[in-house]
């Protein structure tokens, strides 16, 4: 490559679909691309890889040393609500006051009412797309309900099962990637094999899903975050939901763990709706296939919310019966105060708009800084979610762990690279999860600017080593 490269020589927009895989770092596209991002004349003799990369790397090293000199201590690791978001629900701390009865006269101070307060289930029924009579309001953590559902399936039998999952020689779950690390942790805890399947713009790759569930009876389930998926913000298409509901499975007791954690967590005026998976499963002759989970954790108080479980009548009876062995009833006082605070579905919508007013500027700042610092470099692509709590940042193959390490050395704590994949192993070492919600708005730009500096440093270091 003794000559300069022109844009006409290459497809400079290689990742045309937004998150298409980059070519290997020694591919000619990188060398050609970097001649342009170095802001040199492509016809100049100096506009070649040997000349442009060292200058880019020197600038990145200088920026990184300046970043370290700031001695920052900033955290972008988890998708937690900020203190200002929690303040939106401060009124809960003074409720229910001297009231202790629900609308149907239930004394919320006493045992009983195992399904939870009906008026609260009616508020969330539409959002979770589960009839109130098939929706339980129990506990404060949907993760806890997913854990319990796995335990009950292992130690008992789910409707349609011939035996306990614990008695099977092998159990596997499909795990769309990138995905949620706490789902993967549950599988690891119980020795459930995890089989990655790639995410697409429509949801999990359904050709892969359909093939795997049809040929392997050990595949007992799939994890799904169907709306504003963690971490890339994907919303499942109607066709994906239909195929999940209708697909033949080798395991008669196959279950979809439908973690609808971000059902009302919109970041734009376009409030995305997804297809009703429970109805789709029933219409396809698989009424027991899906277990729906949700909570108010990122709606009201993250440590003192209400969790929900919805499914077919048979599955609801199964969970209710198993749960009765460990609890005589949920915290109905907490449920009552949520009813009084949120009032009705419109109250939830109004409340979530206030959340959006706090969150949207943070996401906009992340996207703006990423574009300013990394746009046009070919060193990164990122998601632009319409809701949820995360942004996915993809860097060149083999760079994510080093980016996270360099960021930590500069006082920026990021989610560990690999957390978005089963067993903490991203085979391409490229995906980093960005969680903008918790830091103060004044810190976001500085954090992302620092992350971009680390991406440029690691990316240019690897490119230089690849062409030297």
Tokens of 105: 């006269």
Nearest to residue 455, comparing CAs of 363, 391, 378, 385?
A: 378
Q: Which pLDDT belongs to residue 4?
A: 30
Is the pLDDT score of 213 beyond 80?
yes
Q: Which pLDDT belongs to residue 47?
A: 31
Could you give the CA distance from residue 348 to residue 395 in angstroms, rounded to a whole number?
Answer: 37
Q: Which pLDDT belongs to residue 51?
A: 64
Q: Which pLDDT belongs to residue 305?
A: 97
Confirm if 462 and 30 have CB atoms less than 8 A apart: no
Is the pLDDT score of 448 beyond 60?
yes
Beta strands in 3-124 (DSSP E): 74-76
Query: For the chain, what percentages of helix, strand and coil (3-state, to nearest 5) are there?
Result: 45, 15, 45
Tell me, what DSSP letter sits at residue 23?
P
Is the pLDDT score of 127 beyond 90?
yes
Q: Which pLDDT belongs to residue 24?
A: 52
Confirm if 347 and 300 have CB atoms less than 8 A apart: no
Q: Which pLDDT belongs to residue 36?
A: 39
- Rounded mean pLDDT, 322-341: 96
Could you give the CA distance from residue 286 to residue 226 in angstroms, rounded to a whole number?
Answer: 19
Q: What is the mean pLDDT of the chain?
A: 91
Nearest to residue 176, comparing CAs of 232, 122, 239?
A: 232
The proportion of the chain whose per-residue pLDDT surpasses 90, expressed as a percent, equals 87
Q: Which pLDDT belongs to residue 467?
A: 65
Q: Which pLDDT belongs to residue 465?
A: 87
pTM of the model: 0.90
Q: Which pLDDT belongs to residue 208?
A: 98
Q: How many CB atoms lie within 10 A of CB 146?
A: 20
- Rounded mean pLDDT, 344-368: 98
CA distances from 263 to 36, 102, 201, 230 (A): 43, 26, 18, 12
The proportion of the chain whose per-residue pLDDT surpasses 70, expressed as a percent, equals 89
- Rounded mean pLDDT, 19-29: 47
Residue 19 pLDDT class (50, 70, 90 cuts): very low
Is the pLDDT score of 8 beyond 70?
no
Q: Which string of DSSP letters, residue by residue, matches 339-400? A: HHHH-SHHHHHHHHHHHHHHHHHHHHHHHHHHHHHHTTTSS-EE---SBSS-EEEE-STT-H
Q: Which pLDDT belongs to residue 52?
A: 85
- Rounded mean pLDDT, 443-450: 97
Tell me if the bond preceding 231 is cis, omega within 30° of 0: yes
39-43, 54-58, 255-259: the lowest-pLDDT one: 39-43
pLDDT digits over 139-190, tens only? 999 999 999 999 999 999 999 999 999 999 999 999 999 999 999 999 999 9
Is the pLDDT score of 13 beyond 50?
no
Could you give the CA distance from residue 154 to residue 151 in angstroms, rounded to a whole number?
Answer: 5
Residue 44 pLDDT class (50, 70, 90 cuts): very low
Nearest to residue 195, comparing CAs of 167, 169, 168, 223?
A: 223
Q: Which pLDDT belongs to residue 78?
A: 86
Q: How many CB atoms lie within 10 A of CB 437?
A: 22
CA distances from 248 to 127, 254, 275, 458 (A): 28, 10, 19, 45
């Amino acid at each position: 490559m003794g000559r300069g490269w022109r844009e006409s020589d290459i497809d400079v927009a290689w990742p045309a679909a937004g998150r298409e895989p980059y070519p290997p770092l020694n591919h000619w596209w990188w060398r050609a691309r970097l001649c342009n991002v170095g802001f040199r004349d492509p016809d100049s003799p100096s506009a070649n890889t040997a000349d442009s990369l060292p200058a880019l790397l020197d600038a990145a090293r200088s920026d990184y040393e300046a970043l370290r000199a700031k001695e920052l201590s900033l955290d972008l690791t988890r998708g937690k609500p900020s203190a200002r978001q929690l303040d939106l629900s401060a009124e809960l701390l003074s409720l229910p006051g001297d009231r202790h009865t629900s609308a149907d006269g239930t004394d919320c101070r006493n045992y009983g009412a195992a399904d939870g307060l009906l008026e609260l289930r009616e508020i969330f029924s539409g959002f979770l797309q589960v009839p109130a009579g098939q929706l339980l309001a129990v506990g404060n953590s949907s993760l806890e309900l997913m854990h319990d559902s796995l335990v009950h399936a292992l130690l008992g039998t789910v409707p349609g099962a011939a035996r306990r999952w614990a008695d099977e020689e092998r159990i596997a779950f499909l795990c769309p990637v990138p995905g949620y690390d706490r789902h993967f942790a549950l599988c690891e805890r119980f020795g459930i094999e995890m089989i990655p399947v790639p995410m697409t713009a429509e949801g999990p790759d359904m050709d892969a899903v359909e093939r795997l569930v049809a040929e392997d009876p050990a595949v007992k389930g799939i994890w799904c975050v169907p709306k504003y998926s963690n971490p890339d913000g994907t919303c499942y298409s109607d066709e994906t939901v239909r195929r999940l509901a209708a697909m033949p499975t080798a395991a008669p007791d196959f279950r979809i763990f439908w973690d609808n954690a971000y059902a009302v967590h919109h970041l734009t005026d376009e409030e995305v709706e997804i297809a009703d998976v429970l109805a789709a499963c029933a219409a396809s002759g698989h009424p027991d296939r899906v277990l729906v989970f949700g909570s108010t954790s990122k709606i009201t108080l993250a440590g003192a919310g209400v969790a929900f479980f919805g499914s077919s009548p048979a599955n609801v009876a199964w969970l209710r019966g198993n749960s009765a062995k460990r609890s005589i009833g949920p915290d109905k006082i907490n449920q009552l105060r949520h009813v009084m605070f949120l009032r009705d579905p419109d109250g939830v919508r109004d409340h979530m708009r206030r959340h959006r007013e706090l969150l949207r500027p943070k996401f906009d700042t992340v996207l703006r800084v990423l574009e300013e610092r990394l746009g046009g470099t070919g060193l990164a692509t990122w998601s632009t979610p319409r809701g949820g709590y995360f942004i996915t940042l993809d860097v060149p193959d083999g760079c994510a762990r080093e980016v996270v390490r360099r960021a930590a050395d500069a006082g920026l704590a990021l989610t560990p690279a690999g957390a978005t994949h089963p067993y903490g192993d991203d085979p391409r070492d490229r995906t980093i999860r960005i969680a903008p919600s918790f830091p103060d708005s004044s810190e976001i730009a500085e954090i992302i600017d620092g992350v971009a500096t680390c991406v440029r440093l690691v990316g240019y270091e690897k490119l230089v080593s690849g062409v030297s």
